[in-house]
Amino acid sequence: MSARKQPLDPKPVLELIASIESDLERLKGMLQPPAQKFDPADPRNKTCDGKLTADGVECCYRLFDEGKSRYSVAQAMKISFAAATHRLNAWRKAGGDKRKSVLLG
């Protein structure tokens, strides 16, 4: 007796491919930095002695650009309210929401 070949059902194979593609897109998203997004909690925003780096200053300014309060910026950046006040004044001197944004490194 010879075994009769059944035609391959493509549905499970296509479902597996779709699942793999979905997982790969999720992995890709985890590895790629978000475009134009900044993270106030990024450790690169501060030096080892706790001062803000150029990126940290820009991050503060972008939060002020969005209309965040000094308190919100202090919380998000994990800096003191006084430091956030200092940065708010510097942001205003730089032109406030009309200032030119700097690219983050």
In a domain, 19, yes or no: no
State mean pLDDT over 81-90: 96
In a domain, 72, yes or no: yes
In a domain, 58, yes or no: yes
89 lies in which domain range?
A: 43-97
In a domain, 83, yes or no: yes
In a domain, 61, yes or no: yes
In a domain, 25, yes or no: no
pLDDT digits (tens, 9 = 90+) for 3-44: 677 888 889 999 999 989 888 887 877 676 655 577 888 888
In a domain, 104, yes or no: no
In a domain, 27, yes or no: no
Burial class (CB in 10 A: 0-12, 13-18, 19+), 5: exposed
CA neighbor of 93 nearest in space, from 66, 71, 68, 64: 64
Average pLDDT, the chain: 86
Q: What is the pTM of this model?
A: 0.62
Domain count, the chain: 1
Look at residue 72 and tell me whether its pLDDT is greater than 90: yes
